Amino acid sequence: MSQQLRVLALFAHPDDAEFLCAGTLIHLANRGAAIHIATMTSGDCGSTLFPASKISSIRVREARRAAAMIGARYTSLKEKDLLVFYDKRTLSKVMELLRQVNPTLVFTHSPSDYMVDHEAASRLCQTACFGGMCPNFHTGTKKLAKVLRMVPCLYYAQPMGSADILGKEVLPGISVNIEETLERKAQMLASHESQQAWLKTQQNQTAPTDTMRKMAAQVGALAAFKSAEGFRQHLGQGFPQDDVLSAMLGELVRKPESQGTASSR
C-alpha cells in the first residue's frame, strides 16, 4: 500500500479486542497495517483473588503481551471498571488518543451490549471519531496531538453473544472470515491468563477460548464461513460511506445471507 493503514481498536477492558476483533486485526497486520489496541480500563475489577492495583498490573502485562503477538501497541486509558462515563474528562482522553494514533479505521463495541462500560466506550469512540477534526475541542494535555484531517471509518464489533440487552439478535453488516487467523486469535486471548478463573466465577465461562470459538462459528454460519467476526459500519452524517475494511480484505468479507431478518441496533 502507498501509505500505511493505521488501525485503532478501542474497547472497554483488556481481552475485549481479543474476543471481538483480533482475527480481523491479524488479517490487517498481515497486510502491513499499524495496529494500536487500547482499553478504557486496566481491568481492576477482574478478579476475586487480587486487589485492584495488583490485577490491573497483571492485566496490562497480559494485554501488552497479546498485542505484541501481532506487532501492535497497547494503551490503557486507566479508567475504572464499572465507572466508564461519558463526560468531558473521559472524552478528552479518548479524543487525545485518537488524534495521536490518527487512524484510518477504528473498531469499538456495539452501541448496545451486555454492560454499560461497553456502551459508554462505544459512545465515547463515536464522538471522538466525529469530533477529532474540531480544533476548538481542547483535550487539555500539555503536548497536544494535531487534530485529525479526516473522520476515520468506524466499525462496531458484534456484542458478546450476538444479542442486545433484551436478547434480540444483532445481525452484522459484514462478516470477516477468520478461519486462517482463528488459532492466533485464540493464542492472543489465552494470553489473558488471569481471566480464566474470573470468567468462570462471574459469567460461568469454563473456557473463554471455547466461548470465543463458539461465537466465531455462529457469526460465520451467517455468511457461510466456518469462523468469522461480525461488524457494522457507522454510516451517520459526516462519517465516511466507503467500506474500507471490505476493500482491504476483499474475498474474506461477505454480507450475512440472512441480512434484514434481525435487529440492526
Residues 6+ apart with CB under 8 A from 3: none
- CB distance 226 to 179 below 8 Å: yes
- What the block records as the C-alpha cell of 181 is 487467523
N- to C-terminal Cα separation, the chain: 34
> What backbone phi and psi angles, to 5 degrees, belong to 88?
-60, -45
Q: Which of 166, 161, 57, 149 lies closest to 103 in space, CA to CA?
A: 149
pLDDT, tens digit (0-9, with 9 covering 90-100), for 37-59: 999 999 999 888 899 999 999 99
Please state, in angstroms and as integers, the Cα–Cα distance from residue 221 to each residue in 27, 113, 227, following that order: 20, 21, 7
Average pLDDT, integer, range 228-242: 98
- What the block records as the C-alpha cell of 256 is 450475512
What three-state secondary structure class fits 110?
coil
pLDDT, tens digit (0-9, with 9 covering 90-100), for 16-28: 999 999 999 999 9
Residue ranges of domains in the chain, CATH in brackets:
6-254 (3.40.50.10320)
- CB distance 108 to 157 below 8 Å: yes
Does residue 8 carry a pLDDT above 60?
A: yes
- What the block records as the C-alpha cell of 47 is 478478579
pLDDT, tens digit (0-9, with 9 covering 90-100), for 240-257: 999 999 999 999 999 987
CA 71 to chain centre: 17
Task: Characterize 172-208 residue by residue with b for buried, 16 or more Cβ atoms within 10 angstroms of its Cβ, and e for exposed.
Answer: bbbbbbbeebbebbbebbbbbebbeebbeeeeebeeb
Q: Which of 244, 247, 227, 226 lies closest to 235 in space, CA to CA?
A: 244
Residues 6+ apart with CB under 8 A from 79: 40, 41, 90, 93
> What backbone phi and psi angles, to 5 degrees, belong to 7?
-125, 130
Name the least confident of 64-78, 134-148, 162-176, 193-207. Answer: 193-207
Answer left, alpha or beta for residue 40, where phi above 0 means left and psi between -120 and 50 means alpha. Answer: alpha
Does residue 88 carry a pLDDT above 60?
A: yes
- What the block records as the C-alpha cell of 4 is 500505511
Predicted pLDDT of residue 60: 98
- CB distance 152 to 201 below 8 Å: no
Predicted pLDDT of residue 118: 98
Output the pTM of the full model.
0.93
Angle at 35 between CA 84 and CA 66, to 5 degrees: 75
